[in-house]
Amino acid sequence: MSQLEKVWFITGCSTGFGRQIAEHAIDAGYKVVVTARNVEQIQDITAKSEANTLALSLDVTNQDQIDRAVAKTIEKFGRIDVLINNAGIGYFGSVEESVEEETRKMFEINFWGLMHVTNSVLPHMRSQKSGHIINFSSIGGLTSFPTLGYYHATKYAVEGISESLAQEVAPFNIHVTLIEPSGFRTDWGGRSSVKTETAISELKESFVGQMLNAVQRGAGQEAGDPTKAAQAVIKVVEADKPPLRLLLGEAAYKAATYKFTNLLASIEEWKETTINADFKK
């Protein structure tokens, strides 16, 4: 099949990356299923190409809605070729003071919601012997910063399961790609996140308090361009050999290379102790 015959299914399209990707995919000529919790917020995206698009209500924490959305997609287009798992939220707070109710809600969206959508789409991709699953992670799925501990936990989970999934579905010609952005001018640090201000004086005066203040000051001023991110996602989908991981943003590149350079150095420093933990051959 030609590239433009592919059917895209995108979660979290009301704002940010999801909206940009949906608009760019539609403009490129793809068939696109655009989803959001409030379908009224995405009607404008699909209005310009109603024959090749479908706007659906979808809360990724609601299995019935997931099943209905996938069924309606198959009913209209007959297949799903590209799944963009974009829906997600952020949470800021020290590990010690984070509110369990909020962090569990974030896990339900960022991890379990992503996996429930994936598992609902996978049977169709396996039967057609092709597909591409794009899981939005973060540079925070590779390296960690203060005040984002539980957010990192959700993204590290997405990273780990995506690596396993990529190996399991490769025989069916299904690709998996993790998208790992740094700071982009989306709603992630604003409406799409929750913050718990620190009340512990020692933390308030430390980097924790500074980080929380910096997030608020920097919202809307991030270096990343969502339009360029959307273009990068389309490039990955159209690639003959898509990567397992795609970093987005200079800050993501610098943070990842810094972490793994130092990680490798530490591994080598402790190499003898590591190897000597085995039984003697």
Whether pLDDT at 189 is above 60: no
HSE-CB at 222 with a 13 A cutoff on CA atoms is 23
Confidence (pLDDT) at 115: 98
What average pLDDT does the chain have? 92
Q: Where are the domains of the chain?
A: 3-275
219-263 per-position pLDDT tens digit: 666 778 899 999 999 999 999 999 999 999 999 999 999 999 999
With cut-offs at 50, 70 and 90, classify the pLDDT of residue 184: confident
155 given a catalytic annotation: yes
Q: Residues 138, 151, 156, 162: which is the catalytic one?
A: 151
Our answer to whether residue 266 is catalytic in this structure is no
Percent of the chain with pLDDT over 70: 93
**Average pLDDT of 124-132?**
98
Beta bridge partners of 246: 179
Q: Residue 116, SS3? A: helix
Q: Do residues 34 and 10 touch, judged by C-beta distance below 8 A?
A: yes
Stated as kind and residue range, the H or E segment containing 156 is helix 149-169
The answer on pLDDT for 190 being more than 60 is no
The DSSP bridge partners found for residue 224 are 184
> Which listed residue (94, 120, 137, 138) is catalytic?
137
Rounded CA gap, 164 and 168, in Å?
6
Q: How do residues 139-179 score in pLDDT, each as one tens digit?
A: 999 999 989 999 999 999 999 999 999 999 999 999 999 99
Q: What SS3 class is residue 224? A: strand
Q: 168: which residues sit within 8 A by CB, 6+ positions away? A: none
* pLDDT, position 192: 57
Closest by CA position to 10, among listed 60, 76, 64 = 60
Helix H or strand E encompassing 247: strand 245-248
Q: Express each pLDDT in 76-87 by its tens digit.
A: 999 999 999 999
Q: Which residue matches tokens 């509110």?
A: 99
Q: Given a cut of 80, is residue 188 above it in pLDDT?
A: no
In this structure, the dihedral spanned by the alpha carbons of residues 145, 151, 153 and 154, taken in order and rounded to 10 degrees, is: -150
Provide the token pair at 113: 């919601």
Question: Catalytic residue at 72?
Answer: no
Identify the CATH assignment for 3-275 out of 3.40.50.720, 3.40.50.300, 3.30.450.20, 2.30.130.10.
3.40.50.720
For β-strands 131-136 and 31-36, DSSP reports them as unpaired
Q: Residue 244: how many CB atoms within 10 A of its CB?
A: 13
> For residue range 105-125, what is the model confidence (pLDDT) as tens digits?
999 999 999 999 999 999 999
Out of 155, 156, 162, 193, pick the active-site residue.
155
In this prediction the pTM is 0.93
